Amino acid sequence: MIPGPYLLYLGHSADPIGIKTSRGLATFRPDDCVGEFRYDDCPLTLGLKRLTIAEGASAGSRTLVLGIANSGGTMGADLIADAVAALEAGMNVAAGLHQRLRDVPRLVALARERGLSLFDVRDPPADLMVGTGYPRAGRRLLTVGTDCSVGKMYATLALTTALRARGIAADFRATGQTGILIAGGGIPVDAVVADFISGAIEQLAPARADDGWDVIEGQGSLFHPSFAGVSTGLLHGAQAEAIVLCHEPGRAHMRGLPGRTLPELAECLAMNLQVARLTSPSVRAVGVCLNTSALDAVAARALCERTEDVLGLPCTDPIAFGVESIIDALYAPHA
């Protein structure tokens, strides 16, 4: 486990989506966050107290979380310099980039010298097996998306919480760095060796017999040319009986790919069901989650209603309106 409380890193980030790991911790584990670290050129904030690295350490932070993501996941010189400063101030450092802290000799040497730890959250387990797709017991719900970073993790957490609120056993199964930091466990599926994608999910959400749910965080999109392989293996490994489609209205293009438009919701839903059927022949869609944070409440409600009419599924913004309608659909009689 990564020692808290945390100082959350924003650095020079100007991309609201790029700071989603820091934001996720601030949102879902606020009591474990002492503040945020950002440079003057960073236009973003998590609404936490702005602290220097030294101030963060003085305020009791035990770990600097480099909670920023960039496509490709490399670590720049500035990020390394800030990690050095954190170690020198007596904090551990955690990161979820593809490039590992432990592969930076300077950080490794300094951490050892100070008796501190480096946490590479994106390290997959070493003992993964290839998936089989054989039917396994248990109830599983998977969130899927039109794109990366459209709110799949928020929806998955909200669905887990709502199930538990009804007295139903449910576990959030994290597949990305942010979810893993929030949950304290999981498998970073985009970092496993390609042959083991579905096997990793079979391991993350194994057979269960308590009639409870594994609520699995989706990744990427079948329509994202960079990451669809991950999404495909995730669908096959999840063997979900139910999927929930997540989407952010108004997004101009697929994440990181100017010029590539998002798929239509209906098309995206159909493709996800088609791919999922390989290992879960009776899979069904039970709802749609929209991230309407850019809309006012009236427009958001109207959009959810229109989407319900078009797709014939409950549609909600999990943050603004909750997910009760989707839980109802999950337990409603169906063909």
Short-list 182, 209, 205, CA closest to 279: 205
Answer for the pair 308, 321: CB distance below 8 angstroms, yes or no. no
* Range 230-257 burial, b when 16+ CB lie within 10 A, else e: bbbbbbbbbbbbbbbbbbbbebeebbbe
Least Cβ distance, residue 82 to its own copies (angstroms)? 24
Task: Provide the token pair at 88.
Answer: 């020198």
292 SS3 class: coil
Mask 67-96, x = binds its own copies (CB under 8 A)? ----xxx-----------------------
Least Cβ distance, residue 275 to its own copies (angstroms)? 8
List the interface residues with its own copies, window 281-310 (CB under 8 A): none
- Looking at 32, 147, 171, 190, which residue binds its own copies (CB under 8 A)? 190
The verdict on 167 binding its own copies (CB under 8 A) reads no
Nearer to its own copies, 58 or 261 (CB): 261
Beta bridge partners of 245: 144, 288
8-16, 191-199, 245-253, 297-305 -> range binding its own copies (CB under 8 A): 191-199
List the interface residues with its own copies, window 211-270 (CB under 8 A): 222-223, 225-234, 236-237, 256-257, 259-260
**Spatial CB neighbours of 238, under 8 Å, sequence gap ≥ 6:** 140, 142, 201, 205, 216, 276, 280
- Looking at 194, 209, 252, 332, which residue binds its own copies (CB under 8 A)? 194
- Looking at 13, 198, 292, 307, which residue binds its own copies (CB under 8 A)? 198
The verdict on 138 binding its own copies (CB under 8 A) reads no
Short-list 306, 192, 201, CA closest to 247: 306
The pair phi, psi for residue 28, each rounded to 5°, is -100, -15
Nearer to its own copies, 162 or 276 (CB): 276
Least Cβ distance, residue 43 to its own copies (angstroms)? 25
Least Cβ distance, residue 96 to its own copies (angstroms)? 12
**Whole-number Å distance between alpha carbons of 286 and 83:** 43
DSSP conformation class of 262 = P
| Binding residues vs its own copies (CB under 8 A) | 71-73, 98, 129-134, 189-195, 197-199, 222-223, 225-234, 236-237, 256-257, 259-260, 271, 274-275, 278-279
